[in-house]
Amino acid sequence: MRIAAIDIGTVTARLAVVEQLGAEPPQLLVKLSNICNMGEGVAKTSKLDPAAIDRVRTCVEDYVAQARNYKAETIACTLTSAARDASNSDELLDALKQAGVAPTVIPGTLEGRLALLGVAQDFPDQEIAVIDSGGGSTEFSKGCLDTHNHELSVADVISVQVGARRLTELFLSEEAPDPEAISRARDFCDQAFRGAVDTLRKYLPRAQVPVLVGGSATSLVAMREALDPYDSRRVHLSTLTRRDIEKQIKRLAGMTVVERAQIKGLQAKRAPVILGGSLAISEALSCGGFESARVSERDLLWGLSLVCLDEAQGKPEPLKWAPTLQSL
């Protein structure tokens, strides 16, 4: 069985084509990423910009063509924070239907569960804590993948309206921001996370190292290691400390977007939002009382791919949620 999955986030749209043969583990055949900035302007206007809708539609049309080239039998497409927040998301959903997918806007709690499922593949039968820092929101989750029963036990999921693009649009300009702007962004993170802190500390014990997922987290590792070209093998399951993050924040805060775009290891299109993403991650770790975290390449997209495989093959889904599959 060969399936395709598309995850459209506030900043990035991604495609995975995954194959499973019999009882063999699923294999990733291709993974593509395109920074479409779906959520550009949403934090201030609560509307998707027509240009952003067109960028996402064009990207998804290409992804559908790529999935067909790889002989995927079905495809699923989910959208997250910006699509949840925008008052005109229906315009984008209509465009995506015309592009050949059946788009589904998922809630933050499901976003967190899918990320947890993806990460858990590297930690079978272990309690893990995951922080998924995206463009519009941050999801905190804890759970355990029971490999015997093929079920994901989820202790809790909290979705908070803090993300890389949201912070950028509310507090951080394209020019090097002043210390007061940085401070306001940190305060916004802390206030948004504060309502979840008691719960976070309950299910993210200080002795446990959490796992970070998302483009900001992987970019921070790539920047630290000056990876050019990007090498997922050096990023996946590496350790990132708060000291590493704060060092990058100091570096980024003294640069314009044009200067950040020249940093080795950073996608040029991510330059406008990487400072906001770095601040969100640093404050999330601080609120949880952590000084370090692991970074995983297996995230929401991998979790979505796995439930698509299960649904396509008529197997029980570990999340008790079924994606909408479109035949190709």
Residue 269's alpha-carbon distances to 9, 17, 21, 34, 118, in angstroms, are: 14, 24, 37, 9, 25
pLDDT at 87: 97
What global pTM score does this model have? Answer: 0.95
Residue 197 lies in domain: 122-295
Phi/psi-derived region of residue 71, left when phi > 0, alpha when psi is between -120 and 50, beta in every other case: left
**Does residue 141 sit in helix, strand or coil?**
strand
44-81 confidence digits (pLDDT tens): 999 999 999 999 999 999 999 999 999 999 999 999 99
Q: Which amino acid belongs to residue 284?
A: A
Distance CA 326, CA 30 (A): 19
pLDDT at 204: 59
Co-location of 86 and 227 in the same domain: no
154-208 confidence digits (pLDDT tens): 988 999 999 999 999 999 976 778 999 999 999 999 999 877 766 766 655 554 7
Q: Please report, for the domain that includes residue 100, its CATH number.
A: 3.30.420.40
Co-location of 144 and 277 in the same domain: yes
Distance CA 237, CA 215 (A): 14
Count of structural domains within the chain: 2
Co-location of 304 and 288 in the same domain: no
Co-location of 227 and 305 in the same domain: no
Which of 151, 99, 146 shows the shortest CA–CA distance to 127?
146
Strands 74-79 and 103-105: parallel
Average pLDDT, the chain: 94
